[in-house]
Amino acid sequence: MKNLKQFVFSFGLIIISTLTNGQEKKALAEQLGYPRDAKLLIVHMDDMGMSHSVNMAVMAAFKKNSKFSGSIMVPCPWFLEIAEFAKNHPELDIGIHATLTSEWKYFKWGGVLPVNEIPSLLAKEGYFYPTNEDVGKNAHRDEAEKEIRAQIEKAIAFGVMPTHIDTHMGSIGKVPEGSKIMSELTKEYISVPEISMDGGFALKPETAATVPWNEAYKKFIESMKPGLYKMIVHMGYDNDEMQAVTIWDRPPDNPNHAQKNWGSAWRQKDFDYLTSEEFKNLLKKNNVHLVTYKEINKLFSGNK
């Protein structure tokens, strides 16, 4: 089957659109044990490993619903905690959140590789750049690929068996041939074809500012048609640590990126709603079934 893949990068969201006929799209649901016209959804928790607050919320969310998915930011300070969790829970759907940006003002990280091996990826202070624009202006293709590969290898060395690879803030999309890098690394480390998505959703600040939290997600769920979708969420507890962490590091000419965007209160709201009975009932009412990369990978690998 020949695919036309279009990568759309938006804060970790990758939508891979594939030219296939309707029969092939429906076959995926049927192979997973659902009706051919089923609505399938991957609920994906970004930023695992970023902070202890994020880790605690993510682990609690997995306990509430083992069919959630998520991905780990390997260069971040709390990687060890979430890597141990992933190692001890191989049944969960956990991937690698390829990271090339460090967006918070006082809470920073650099690369997994030594500074002298990835100079184009780092600001003068030795940390990743805070914005995608900076990545686009400075990052060299080979160094970006080398760093992401090192992040994947480190996760594997600590016992993480990634089910997928996605991108933090969509920064890889600013690197020359970024989509090719992601495609090749996915093929190499996951050993299955990239998954075709029919659509996706990530709550944006402008949306959150105009409607109640639950209404934004409700609107997306109710709009789903038969097919496979991905929803990006950001979980965390609104505590002292998370409030101190989530202060944006943004250039003066970009004032619209307020601290609240993907910040502490935002993450608490995501956790509260996505683990609620209201959300569970919303899925049931609209006949939406949660699926994982791990389940889909098994179909392609034949490991049923």
Per residue in 271-287, pLDDT tens?
999 999 999 999 999 99
Q: Count how many Cα atoms sit within 13 Å of the Cα of residue 16 in the half-sphere of its side chain.
A: 17
Residue 7, domain member (yes or no): no
Tell whether 214 is covered by a domain: yes
Residue in the block written with tokens 């160094």 = 143
Q: Cβ atoms within 10 A of the Cβ of 6, count?
A: 11
Q: How many C-beta neighbours within 10 Å does residue 78 have?
A: 19
Q: How far apart are CA 117 and CA 85, in angstroms?
A: 30
Per-residue confidence (pLDDT) for residue 103, from 0 to 100: 94
Given this model, what pLDDT does residue 15 score? 34
Tokens 């202006």 correspond to what residue? Answer: 137
Query: Does position 199 have pLDDT exceeding 70, yes or no?
Result: yes
Q: Which of left, alpha, beta for 9 (phi over 0: left; psi -120 to 50: alpha)?
A: beta
**What are the beta bridge partners of residue 43?**
231
Mean pLDDT within 85-110: 97
23 has a pLDDT exceeding 80: no
Domain annotation covers residue 10: no
pLDDT tens-digit map of 254-265: 555 555 578 899
Regarding pTM above 0.75, the answer is yes
158: three-class secondary structure by DSSP: coil
Looking at residue 21, what is its pLDDT? Answer: 37
Instruction: Give me the mean pLDDT over the 66-74 stretch.
Output: 98
Residue 20 backbone dihedrals phi, psi, to 5 degrees: -135, 165
Provide mean pLDDT across the span 222-248. Answer: 95
Q: Of 259, 245, 280, 241, which is closest to residue 64 (Cα–Cα)?
A: 280
Decide if 23 is inside a domain. no
The mean pLDDT value of the chain amounts to 87
Residue 191 lies in a domain: yes
**Which residues span the domain enclosing 207?**
34-301
Tokens 């507890």 label which residue?
237
Question: What's 221's domain CATH number?
Answer: 3.20.20.370
Q: Return the beta strands (E) in the chain as ranges.
A: 6-10, 13-17, 39-48, 69-72, 93-98, 165-167, 199-202, 227-233, 288-290
Locate 244 and state its tokens: 């101190």
**Is residue 256 a contact partner of residue 248, using CB atoms and an 8 Å limit?**
no
Residue 26 lies in a domain: no
Q: Looking at the domain assignment, is residue 9 inside a domain? A: no
User: Is 111 within a domain?
Assistant: yes
CA 159 to chain centroid, in Å, comes to: 19
Check residue 250 and give its pLDDT: 67
Q: Report the domain count for the chain.
A: 1
Residue 242: enclosing H or E segment and its boundaries? helix 240-245
d(CA 133, CA 214): 32
